[in-house]
A = this chain, B = another copy of it.
Amino acid sequence: MYRPEVKILDVTIRDGGLMNNWDFPKSMVKEVFYGLAEAGVDYVELGYRADKRVFSTDEFGPWRFCNEEDLRDVAYECDTKIAVMCDVGRTNLDDFVPKSESIISMVRVACYVPEVDEGLKIAQYMKDLGYEVSLNLMAVSTVEEGLINEALRKIAQSRVDLVYIVDSFGYYYSEHIRYLTEKYIHALPGKAIGIHTHNNRQLAFSNSVEALLAGAQFVDCSLYGMGRAAGNCTTELILSFMDNPKYDLRPVLDLIERYFVRLKEDLKWGYELPYLVTGVLNQHPRTALAYIKEQGQGSKRSLRDFYETHIRQIKSK
């Protein structure tokens, strides 16, 4: 028994790109796309389509920008659809062509709750161009519930196809995830709900499963969990969970063995204590990333001090 409408969306290149400035070689991204297609993964997010007036192409690799020609070099139109993400305030609408001229199927608009009006403007624009559109409402764990409800009311009136619960800081337990999934489903009739988790507390996979069991239809994941800081729910775990026989774990084992075990040794995403601390305290991981960088540069600042500093800052608010 499985729900055929459930879709896997792999975010490796997009979210993993946060760890290497989206500087993946084309040959590798091509193998990733082909391998994920062979595995039956439904959507592959190949990066951001970011505004080149905001980010320099000298500083960032091609998957920060996702030009059509770059996408066509690594992917092809098939049952596995291509997604890109764009951020409020970092998107040039003129960079997007009508869906009929693009290899992209889905545009995912990421915004914080106070930016929801702006996010919806971009989303409606993308709908007008003919794309499937998701709205990824980030960092909701830090937002007062009334404001979330208000944002959901606005989204309900939009033509967005899909709305994501995003546990940006890896803070939520399964009970929160179930509550939010049921809330989003109830508030957004006719729209699909997705789940995007981070692994600060080793709950990314279990929370993703919880959301699916509660009725979510899209699940984000990345190969070997590649993503910023503690990383994401892993694609291999999600594939191993799915009963739908269209999915095949083996091409994903090949990809991880070939690329991601070594990449993880170099770039070091995944569970580490500073990320546990920011997750537990419902904070952005930027201070943890900075702490780890300082340790690498010889800092002797203790974890206890890192933790206590956060506690003090929270108490003084």
Contact = CB atoms under 8 A, between A and B. Distances in A.
Interface of A: 173-175, 199, 201-207, 209-210, 213, 234, 236-237, 240-241, 249-250, 253-254, 256-257, 261, 273, 276-277, 280, 302-304, 307-308
A202 B253 contact: no
A174 B302 contact: no
A174 to B, nearest CB: 6
A199 B201 contact: no
A201 B210 contact: no
A206 B197 CA distance: 14
Contacts of A206: 174, 202-203, 205-207
A202 B238 CA distance: 11
16 contacts: A173-B241, A199-B202, A201-B205, A201-B237, A202-B202, A206-B207, A236-B273, A240-B276, A249-B307, A250-B308, A253-B303, A254-B304, A256-B273, A256-B303, A257-B302, A257-B304
A303 B224 CA distance: 14
Contacts of A205: 201-203, 206
Nearest to A306: B253
Nearest to A174: B206
Which of A210, A234, A273, A280 is packed against the most chain B CB atoms within 10 Å?
A273
A187 to B, nearest CB: 25
Contacts of A254: 302-304
B280 A209 contact: no
Given A202-B202, A206-B206, A307-B253, A280 B240 contact: yes
Contact of A273 (B199, B257, B302, B307): B257
